[in-house]
Structure 1
Amino acid sequence: MSPAPEFNLASRTLDDVAVAGKRVLLRADLNVPVRDGKVMDATRLERLLPTIQELSDKGARVIVLSHFDRPKGQVVPGMSLKPIAESLGRILGKPVGFAANCIGPEAENAVAALNDGDVLVLENTRFHAGEEKNDPEFAAQLAKLGDIFVNDAFSTAHRAHASTEGIARHLPSFAGRLMQAELHALEAALGNPQRPVAAIVAGSKVSTKLDLLNNLVTKVDILVIGGAMANTFLAAQGLSVGKSLQEPGLQGTALEILKTAAAKGCEILLPQDVVVAETFSANVPTKVVNVEDIPDDAMALDVGPATVEAFVKRLPEIKTIIWNGPLGAFETKPFDASTNTLAKAIAEATKEGKVISVGGGGDTVSALKLAGVHHDMTYLSSAGGAFLEWMEGKVLPGVEALSKAFSNLG
């Protein structure tokens, strides 16, 4: 599989567009956890602040577009962006307006009332069926509200929706600062990395990461496989994994991946030892065993200390690390131990300037936060699906659209 095309940031950032007095349609990701009308985690809003603040300070009339949840083309009051707009205003430290629709008279009147520097959030784009269908008419209705399109939602770039891909066909389009940072980080990780490159891929199932594994074995020098997915690779090599989660139907696929890796010169590191227990629950009795000695009545729930130590010893030779997936069932103690140990070692090497470390994916972000090292990584992507698809070598419609729109209209 070919790598995703590099997005040329040299002439497509906020450095290269005059926004004063212009209506700037900003595609953001305001899809944050909300409970009883209150934002529970404002991380995504905080990461948008550099772009919003810069546009506002430069005199743009900032019009924020976003989806929220899955209303499936219907108006669902509980999925309104209004409380999120209010939270954004508090974080931004200035009033943020809200329009009860993202197209039509309500949106048009709210946009017309803006002054230079004002910020306005339009209602959930997914209240309209045309959003997820990437309907050209709906995209055109969104586009008529602005003069310039800025996409700062890398997390939605893997979706060819009207507000991510369709709108870029109508307006000069640029990457926001968060999009710019994500693309720079991913280019540093896989596009043109400092070598040797190591990737850590873990999770519960091989089936969910087949494309990722198949792409990485052609791109990286060392591939560390952990989590329950490692059990499938161990079983494929004839080892008994007891009651451990594994996918028997994918053992042949696992062997093919190992074969491809060998042909491409990619070294694969599988667990040497594992932490096993007879039941999966917090603080149950556990023991560390070699992978050749997993008891029939036990399950592997974390990689063992010798496995982590072996990789930590390799850190001095590695220049770039990509991480997707915790090594064990990190949400339940003590099966977070290996993830925490490795995370802290990588964080220390990163702080010392010895390695570039890029992590991404929901569980990875959560695990690194629990380990207390999320601020020490070179870059930590909150993009989830978009991060994974980029790592799989797939073209992201939202990124590709920026290049096409710019070449046609910029």
Structure 2
Amino acid sequence: MFTAHDKLKPSYDVVIIGGGGHGLASAYYLARDHGITNVAVLEKGYIGGGNTGRNTTIIRSNYLTPEGVKFYDKSVQLYQDLSTEFDLNLFYSTRGHFTLAHTDSAMRTMRWRAEVNKHYGIASEVVGPEEVKRQTPQIDLSCGGHAPIQGALYHAPGAVARHDAVAWGYGRGADMRGAEIHQQTAVTGIEVKGGKVVGVHTTKGFISTNKVICAVAGFTPRITDMVGFKTPIFVHPLQAMVSEPMKPWLDTILVSGSLHIYVSQSARGELVMGASLDPYEVQSTRSTLDFPEGLAAHLLDMFPFLSHSKVVRQWAGMADMTPDFAPIMGMTPVEGFYLDSGWGTWGFKATPVCGKTMAWTAVNDKPHELITGFSLDRFRNYSLTGEKGAASVGH
């Protein structure tokens, strides 16, 4: 699906570090929307081998802040047309998304989110446990008797898609338009002179460029060290697992912050499951036995009939978290160096809108209007974008 390039050119108009969904989407929109095709995407491993291929593929826009709602709503809109645009089946499937509430305080947060969502035209509403039961008859509303479901935030546009197909679609689209994708090409340094980017050192040689987009998720601190500034990002492992395939029975997507679980069923019949971040700060993708034990126990609170189902595999990604649970995007203290980071547990759903906004930002050298609330400066100015109540679970 991609052209294999033997060597790097001496210079590029834009260099993108990271060959995951965000980096490939940036290259695609640079070419499609702005006509910039002299672009190199540098990936130290293989396409989509980082967090793009290590997530649970949930797509939604039911966030808590105006900045988050508008940003992710644009992403959902873009996702809905991608299969046609790429001429590639992304297995995009609208399911409806329930964020379960087990306490009075959780219900208050759901009402808050619903009102913000409705204000911006997003289909979200608070429903009672009877609606959860109607759409998911197999669920135990008492959750084992210790965490009864009081209600939920129901987000009808909630969907899932095939994660690696999204990366392949953007990669093929960028490649067809002239961008170069270089796999097995690690960045070893970034040349900065007079506060401006002038080039990138790689394992395959030096590249001259005055624009670099960094989209490397959990590796962000390593890259920002190369250009000499710090971010408040901290990295935790985030694990997931899938069950053996079974006949379709779970039509919706279920998330529970109290039980630290989110689950949907894939097109192949597997239950795709995730939980909260691992509690330690480690830059590692190693799996642990503790994770499936804890997650299985919480899943059985909701669905006791799954007690004999088997787990077939598990994996981990590196979640780049920020203090306010919103991303860091756009300009940085180094001229020509643009940051797409801080994605934590919500990066896959933002893939299309990140590509569009980062491409626009790099071309115009100012932040796109959808990402002004995600600037790095907000931490210096104490103007945070607080998404803790809607980012994911178990934070």
Give the TM-score normalised by structure 2. 0.25
Higher helix proportion (structure 1 or 2):
1
Higher strand proportion (structure 1 or 2):
2
Q: Which has the larger radius of gyration?
A: 1
Q: Which has the higher contact order (CA 8 A, sep 6+)?
A: 2
Give the TM-score normalised by structure 1. 0.25
